[in-house]
Structure 1
Amino acid sequence: MDKGKILVVDDNEQNIELLQGFLEAKDYEILTAYDGAEAIEQITKNDPDLVLLDVIMPGMDGFEVCRKIKFQMNLDFLPVIMVTALNGREEKIKGLEVGADDFISKPLDWTELTVRIKSLLRLKRTHDQLRLNLARLDYQLDLARSIQMGLMGSQCRNDAAEVFYHPVEKVGGDLYEFVKVDEDKCGVLIADCSGYGVPAALMMASVKIVFMGLDKKNTSPSMVLNNLNTEIMNLFSSKLEGLFITAIYMVVDFKNKCISWSNAGHPYPILFQNGGGSYMTPGDMPLGILEKLNYQTHRIPFNEGSLLMLYTDGLAEYFEKGAQMLPENLFPKILSKLGRTSVQERSSFYKGLEADMENFSDDICYIAIRLGD
């Protein structure tokens, strides 16, 4: 087993030879440097696992070398033991301020030195393994994100939909889907699993699979949600453990200019027409709570040129996160403004959301459907 690579830094050749002989006898690979500049070069070229760093050296002293290692070299984690003949409290505080991980005093106690080296190398190996595991996890989450984005809906009839979707983590619990019911009708699903991250994403993937397997051509929106709830309860049974799903399924009939929908505990859609907007109420209980639910189908006509908005609660939370400093009813005002803007203006709004992703506290999905010209 590779015990580790140690860089010994000291301007005294005898000290280096003494340390090198002792550590090589214990099967460590040894690098040497006689001043600060050479130490920095060795670290850059040879990637040691630990540095034994003498404090008192001409030119760049050990404190300055340590500061460069810890704060300027952009290294992941390189333990530094400062070797010093200084026993004062101020020197140790200074060493801690520049990032030293441990100290050992001259004259050296070889047993103490061995124990301190072993301890920091164990910490280094643990840190490196954790970093490797996190890199693997990050890669897997990136892949999962790509897969999840591929699961999202394609487009509504005649590219009538504008969609903004952003999970607060790599993957999320919001879902949208468009389905072709017939030549004149487009089915729209928007859903939000409680929570976020991997559990919510796995739940949403399951909902997507179940939803795509349901009959939607000869079934009302309420029956689609009833069937979806039944399948979810059968699939997960008691495994939901407090998770639930809010959802809306609607059918937009472009020929007869009518929307039929059913709402399972989801934020109300808004229909903008005739110069104003109105919430499409009511709503029923979320999916995944009770086995037998009786969702209702509601209908509303629309005019040519109307705009339909659907969204998850993350969008409202984003705008109302500073509610104590913002005007009352800010979110409805923003939606009302969006309902009167052009496609280009709404595109600028989406770009603004993308630029401010770091301030999202929940997954966000927003859909605007243009209902005719």
Structure 2
Amino acid sequence: MPKTLNPLELIARSCQPSARFVRRAALATVVMAVIIVVTGGAVRLSQSGLGCSTWPRCTPDSLTPTAAMGVNGLIEFGNRMLTYVLCAVVGLFIIAARARSPRRRSLTRLGWAQFWIVMGNAVVGGITVLTGLNPYIVASHFLLATALLTVAVVTWRRACEGDEEPRDLVARPVRQLAWVLLGATAALTLVGTLVTGTGPHAGDARKVHRIPLDWQEVTQAHVDLVYIVVGLTVALWFTLRAVKAPEAPRRAVRDLVVFLLLQGVVGYVQYFFGLPELVVGLHMLGSTLVWIAALRVVLAMRDRGPLPELPEQPSGDAEAVRPAEPAAAG
């Protein structure tokens, strides 16, 4: 009796995505993870956090927002619908990675990790609504979105490199400094969620429970961590120059310096102008770019060789997916 093939196996036998297509699919998951963070911030900043009063339905009697709910209902419901777009992009990457030969199990595992984080965060998002925007649940919702972004960046990096044993490009103390920098950036992000939980943008025009901490003190702690991250970045940049490190890690640190400077400008503008919603939204976008840059610094400290490539014809984007060659008879 012939063996029944699962859908992924059927796709793998019928088409062969190019390495470029897999890389672009991986990059698309990073872009969507950033969009989810930014649009989630837009929901909060537009006071649409409870635009849909319940979950998984929008109202007890309707799956979609009603006219009486106004623009807040549309914004909240639109953010929910983006989860389906995100799932589709992650699914596309999983299929492309599974169909690509030679098969790389590390990529498909990372793709499935993204999928399950999305599913878990969808549930946390529902709990956020059902608890009336509890600030601790809101913070967990953001941190899970950051976890998704982390896995997406690692996936993108793995899609651009080979599967050889990692070869260190710099000495161990330099790598340790890079990890300390990443830890400080993670702490900066974590304290940023406390700033959100104590600040004025609660996510809804009605009275919403806030984290019982002094907003100005938490903000000052956030600023102190910014100085620490900037100091570690500058130290790492000079260290890499002193040891004559390869171009890849030096370029990654330069990118982080640029994003930190831009984020610092946005941060001071939002503070001195009373936290205008648009500038706060830009600050949230900047936080995702800083985190991506910090991750790339750590990932640039080692090399895993070139991609395992199949012989490919020089082609444009139209050949991103091409039919697989038939197996030889025998």
Give TM-score scaled by structure 1 length. Answer: 0.25
Give TM-score scaled by structure 2 length. Answer: 0.27
Larger C-alpha radius of gyration, 1 or 2? Answer: 1
Q: Which structure is higher in strand share?
A: 1
